[in-house]
Amino acid sequence: MALLFSSRFHDPEVWRTALTVHIPDLEMRVWPDAGDPLEIDAALVWGPKRGELKYYPNLRVIISMGAGVEHILRDSDLPANVPIVRTFDPHMQGAMVEYVVLHVLRHHRHMPEIVENQRRGEWVKYGPEDTPGTTVGIMGLGAFGAPPAQALDAIGFRVVGWSRTDKEFSGVESFVGEAGLSDFLAQSNILVCLLPLTPETEGIINASLLEQLPPGACVINAARGGHLVEEDLLAALDSGHIKAATLDVFREEPLPADNPFWSHPKVTITPHNASDPHPRWVAGIIAENLRRAREGSDLLNVVNLSHGY
Ligand code: NDP
Ligand code: OXD
């Protein structure tokens, strides 16, 4: 049986090398050269072409090349009854902790302004900052939201989290669903989005959400570009209600050269690299899911299709 590799964004040979360490006899076919469709029993994908995956009648598992799965679920023509699994590992979770802590601290310690002042040769003092009096609000307390929440608590910030179901993490106050959103937002001086992109969360960072944040709040989006209504953030930055933003993800990637975020003085752009799934890190978990799918045993990190993540 063979693994189908399908991504326009990843180098198949790098992934083949990493996977072969765990599966020495790996048979991997790179789309569109899938060979006999009957031989494909697993697919490792990022943004597969619409309808592509239903051409393999013996497919046992669809493996996302990363933690997000919206790039698979947007295909309305997926094969029925084939489980989808997400891919991440502790290295990736650690990288997200670094990214969120880095950008929270940059905003908290006024680094964008200090760097600008240095360019102008201006000595301007800020602070001292009240860290326990600063609340970081994390939207999404899953595999990538919970570890930064706990790291920020350890540094001394007040941390609140928002999720669909209640959470009990020490040092993180939990807010739940629609009913808890306004109270959560009203206290989030720095808002971090780590939600999956689903029909419920598409466009969630919009004018109505932004106006519920305290004046001078900062926004960090490390989830998906589809969470953000770009014009609404630009308006909130230009009015001064939102002080600054860090954006790792965009509706169109790479971010087009004429996008106003590139030159906006209050925006920091990173090129969707908060936490990349490095093949060497995640090959082990992918190999494990492939082995389980072939044996018919329980898979790891299975997507709940009714929740969409
Ligand atoms: P998980 O599925 O582990 O967690 C998702 C969290 O979001 C859960 O806490 C869930 O609540 C909450 N949630 C989902 N829908 C809603 C909703 N409608 N209302 C309130 N809360 C909701 O996801 P991960 O943490 O693994 O990943 C999150 C996203 O981060 C990924 O989908 C991906 O898009 C992005 N990502 C970005 C990376 C980057 O490099 N920029 C790297 C890795 C991930 P509950 O716990 O109650 O189910
Ligand atoms: C992911 C990502 O979903 O890197 O893993 O964005």
Residue closest by Cα to atom 19 of ligand 1:
164
Report which ligand 1 atom has the smallest distance to the Cα of 195: 7
Containing H/E element for 292? helix 279-295
Nearest CA to 253 among 220, 225, 219, 229?
225
Task: State the pLDDT at residue 136.
Answer: 99
Q: Is 71 a catalytic residue?
A: no
Domain boundaries, the chain: 2-88+277-295, 90-269
CB-ligand 2 contact for 66 (6 Å cutoff): yes
The tokens 């494909």 sit on which residue?
Answer: 40
**Which tokens is 81 given?**
């009854």
> In this structure, are residues 88 and 277 in contact, taking their beta carbons and an 8 Å threshold?
yes
Q: Is 272 a catalytic residue?
A: yes
Distance (angstroms) between ligand 1 centre and the Cα of 91 equals 17
CB-ligand 2 contact for 68 (6 Å cutoff): yes
* pLDDT tens, per residue, the chain with 309 residues: 999 999 999 999 999 999 999 999 999 999 999 999 999 999 999 999 999 999 999 999 999 999 999 999 999 999 999 999 999 999 999 999 999 999 999 999 999 999 999 999 999 999 899 999 999 999 999 999 999 999 999 999 999 999 999 999 999 999 999 999 999 999 999 999 999 999 999 999 999 999 999 999 999 999 999 999 999 999 999 999 999 999 999 999 999 999 999 999 999 999 999 999 999 999 999 999 999 999 999 999 999 999 999
3 state DSSP class of 21: helix
CB-ligand 2 contact for 276 (6 Å cutoff): yes
Pocket test for ligand 1, best of 97, 164, 227, 250 (most atoms within 8 A of CB): 164
**Least distant ligand from the CA of 223:** 1
> In this structure, are residues 157 and 104 in contact, taking their beta carbons and an 8 Å threshold?
yes
Pocket test for ligand 2, best of 195, 276, 301 (most atoms within 8 A of CB): 276
Task: State the pLDDT at residue 81.
Answer: 95
Distance (angstroms) between ligand 1 centre and the Cα of 261 equals 24
**Which tokens is 243 given?**
């002080």
- Please tell me what DSSP assigns to residue 52: G
3 state DSSP class of 248: coil
Does 90-269 carry CATH code 3.40.50.720?
yes
**Least distant ligand from the CA of 94:** 1
Sign of the CA dihedral running 8, 96, 234, 116: negative
Same fold flag, 2-88+277-295 and 90-269: yes
Task: State the pLDDT at residue 9.
Answer: 92
Using CA atoms, how far residue 68 sits from 33, 121, 213, in Å, is: 25, 43, 26
CB-ligand 2 contact for 277 (6 Å cutoff): yes
Question: Would you tell me the crossing angle of helices 111-119 and 90-108 to the nearest 10 degrees?
Answer: 60
Question: Alpha-carbon distance 185 to 168, whole Å?
Answer: 19
Active-site residue, from 106, 272, 280, 294: 272
- Answer whether 0.85 is exceeded by the pTM: yes
Q: At a CB cut-off of 8 Å and minimum separation 6, what does 80 contact?
A: none
Question: Would you tell me the crossing angle of helices 90-108 and 146-155 to the nearest 10 degrees?
Answer: 50
**Which tokens is 103 given?**
């950008």
Report which ligand 1 atom has the smallest distance to the Cα of 176: 20
Residue closest by Cα to atom 7 of ligand 1:
140
Task: State the pLDDT at residue 233.
Answer: 99
Active-site residue, from 86, 110, 224, 227: 224
Beta strands across the sheet bearing 242-247: 172-176, 158-163, 135-139, 190-193, 217-221, 242-247, 267-269
- Give the CATH fold of the 2-88+277-295 domain: Rossmann fold (3.40.50)
**Which tokens is 67 given?**
């933690």
